[in-house]
Chain A
Amino acid sequence: DAKTTQPPSMDCAEGRAANLPCNHSTISGNEYVYWYRQIHSQGPQYIIHGLKNNETNEMASLIITEDRKSSTLILPHATLRDTAVYYCIVQGAQKLVFGQGTRLTINP
């Protein structure tokens, strides 16, 4: 499975859009990009996934570059409850392997 690179931490003001980048330059054609988040002392939560088209759901938007080598997760109006570790994972075969993720802190 392709490796991903994320910044270790980010800050965002409450009410603003939070844009979390992810690099996955070795992604192969049939691998999807998934985003999960983990709030302290809880199990991870699925957010969104995509292959090559941009995706949007009630939680977030996912923008994937045309060459698929990077993506951005957008939380349009961040709240304090969005403070969490966000994981970008390229998911191919059976196993889901977590990197270190981005620790996003939403500030009041």
Chain B
Amino acid sequence: GAVVSQHPSRVICKSGTSVKIECRSLDFQATTMFWYRQFPKQSLMLMATSNEGSKATYEQGVEKDKFLINHASLTLSTLTVTSAHPEDSSFYICSARVREWGYGYTFGSGTRLTVV
């Protein structure tokens, strides 16, 4: 149980275009989801906290206008990378807390974004 489905798993886009990443909680409701970014050989870095029905909370240094987060329902959060540039190439991962796990986190499988 407590599965988070993340799509796409891999995407290549041209510089200047936008890319949307979806994260769905399949068998539970996630009022809060978290978005992380991970560069090669580095740890996960929290980008933002996505709250259902309200604005996302961004970590310091993360551009709100570049990384648009929408959490319109209890099972879906999306991250849109706008006007992507090669430096946005990274591994993006979403997660949600699971009450049955003592509020431990379940994670999506990640999206490998390559901007060319």
Contacts and interface: CB of A to CB of B under 8 A. Distances in A.
B102 A32 contact: yes
A106 B112 CA distance: 26
Interface stretch (A18-26, A62-70, A73-81, A96-104): A96-104
Contacts, number: 55
Nearest to B42: A100
Contact of B109 (A36, A43, A98, A101): A43
A77 B6 CA distance: 31
Interface residues of B, number: 25
B105 interface: yes
A96 B93 contact: no
Contact of B93 (A44, A87, A99): A44
Interface string B73-91: 0000000000000000001
Nearest to B2: A46
Given A43-B93, A44-B93, A95 B104 contact: no
A82 B31 CA distance: 32
A80 B46 CA distance: 29
Contacts of A99: 43
A49 B98 CA distance: 12
Contacts of A34: 104-105
Contacts of A36: 105, 107
A31 B45 CA distance: 21
A15 to B, nearest CB: 28
Nearest to A48: B104
B34 interface: yes
Interface of B: 4, 6, 32, 34, 36, 43-46, 49, 91, 93, 95, 98, 101-110, 112
